[in-house]
Amino acid sequence: MIPYGRQNITEDDIEAVVEALKSDYLTQGPKIKEFEEAFASYIGSRYAVAVANGTAALHLNALALGVKPGDKVITTPITFAASANCIRYCGGEVVFADINPETYLLDIASVRKLLEASPKGTYQGIIPVDFAGRAVDLESFRKLADEFGCWIIEDSCHSPGGSFCDSDGNKQRCGNGNYADLAIFSFHPVKHIASGEGGMITTNSEELYQKLLILRTHGIVKSSELFTNSIAFSGGMDSYPSWYMEMQELGYNYRITDFQAALGLSQLKRADDGLKRRREIASIYNEAFKGKSFLKGQSGVVEGHAYHLYVLEVERRLELYNFLREHQIFAQIHYIPTHLMPYYRQFGWKEGDMPFAENYYNHCISLPMYPTLTEDQQQFVIKTIMNFYEA
């Protein structure tokens, strides 16, 4: 059976986890800090905060940015629902804008149209997604966001190691914090780096970084400079006693465990090899499908693409999907547009609201894409697709 994506666990990974399990720490141990530092250095951001999963990362971001009931935030409908849900967790309103039909990414012109149609201050933030691994042009989004006083959360779950080219011709890595206020990653097994469950937030803002650390652990503060109760209250004499701590905000337990961080750290060492392999697989697919009449559209070679997914838009998608399954190839559909999920329909979203996203959904299919996909397996996938259309 050939899935659309899968993890790659090596003997080194297993050894790293076993070592962590034998250490003094199961959670909040030294591997977490090590993973954060290695990840920040890989991505090029100043700070990184490891958390329980990508969804927790999004929720913490929304909290750190102060999202509250009545706030309006713009995002794309072609993403995993969590990209939008984090705003709802804080009582904010999700406003969808359509995708660009060529890139499948949140269309900046549609976002501008929304922002310009209301008085400044109507919208608080924008959440672009590096969908499939294709990097959003965040330099342009930053300019637009600044014009309207918006923050940006970059959902980079699909794009660790991916990059876009800025206007000076420099490569800007997804999540490097140069443009977005905060970025998030997931270490779910289908993503580039697996830690079981796991996530990471990256940022260049010291202030947001400090907030995230506190919110990740129940809103508890442990350093005496930040205490607001008096020493007398704390039970100390000239200083706060060493057991003393304060819960100053309503935080959560969104910590990752030490052995998950050990796995993530071990996986991170092979991130570049995995990315290289994903790009090889993509170029073989690109070559095989070039100019084929069953394609509705094709992105071809894209500089900086991290290829979490390899997406085609095709004719007779359902029949192809079923045909592939009969041949033990489990392609997948990414994504059912979020605005048409029953939960979001209650806010008035309906068919026809996002024509490009909805048309994309009617034709898209994600082919097997993961570093351990063998050449033979990939050729079998290609041959099966060709047989379906050309037989």
Ligand X SMILES: *Cc1c(COP(=O)(O)O)cnc(C)c1O
Report the interface residues with ligand X, using CB under 6 A.
Answer: 53-55, 79-80, 82-83, 129, 155, 157-158, 186, 188, 199
For the bound state, the minimum distance from the C-beta of residue 286 to ligand X, rounded and expressed in Å, comes to 22
Beta bridge partners of 125: 73, 151
Nearer to ligand X, 176 or 221 (CB): 176
Q: Which helix (H) or strand (E) holds 316?
A: none
Q: How far is the CB of 56 from ligand X (least distance, A)?
A: 7
Question: Of 45, 56, 96, nearest to 75 (Cα)?
Answer: 96
Query: What are the backbone angles phi and psi of residue 50, rounded to the nearest 5°?
Result: -80, 140
Q: Omega before 335 cis (within 30°)?
A: yes
Nearer to ligand X by Cβ, of 199 and 323: the residue is 199
Sign of CA dihedral 303, 304, 310, 315: negative
Minimum distance between the CB of residue 58 and ligand X, rounded to whole angstroms?
6
- Three-state secondary structure call for residue 219: coil
Pick 106 or 108: Cβ nearer ligand X: 106
Chain residue whose CB lies nearest ligand X: 54
- 3-state secondary structure (DSSP) of residue 246: strand
Q: Pick the closer one to ligand X by CB: 136 or 381.
A: 136
Would you say 264 or 371 has its CB closer to ligand X? 264
Which residue's CB is nearer to ligand X, number 83 or number 204?
83
Give the residue carrying structure tokens 């490569």. 171
DSSP letters, 365-389, are EEEP--TT--HHHHHHHHHHHHHHH
Length of the chain: 391
Bridge partner list, 165: 171
* Strands (DSSP E) found in the chain: 2-3, 47-51, 72-75, 93-96, 125-127, 151-155, 163-165, 171-173, 182-186, 199-203, 220-221, 246-247, 295-297, 310-314, 329-330, 364-367
Please say which residue, 59 or 221, places its beta carbon nearer to ligand X: 59
Minimum distance from residue 82 beta carbon to ligand X (Å): 4
**Measured from the CB of residue 199, what is the shortest distance to ligand X in angstroms?**
5
Tokens at 210, concatenated = 């400090």
Using the minimum distance from each CB to ligand X, give the nearer residue, 53 or 366.
53
Q: How far is the CB of 291 from ligand X (least distance, A)?
A: 30
* Closer residue to ligand X, CB minimum distance, 133 or 304: 133
Q: What is the DSSP string of 51-95?
A: ES-HHHHHHHHHHHTT--TT-EEEE-SSS-THHHHHHHHTT-EEE
Q: Is 294 exposed, middle or buried (0-12, 13-18, 19+ CB in 10 A)?
A: middle
Q: Is 53 or 203 the residue whose CB approaches ligand X more closely?
A: 53
Q: What angle do CA 170, 310, 303 make, to 5 degrees?
A: 15
CB of residue 134 to ligand X, shortest distance in Å: 12
Nearest to 367 by CA among 334, 391, 336: 334
Alpha-carbon distance 248 to 222, whole Å?
Answer: 10
What's the min distance (Å) between Cβ of 129 and ligand X? 5
Paired strand residues for 182: 153
- Name the minimum Å distance from CB 251 to ligand X: 18
Give min distance, CB of 74 to ligand X, in A: 16
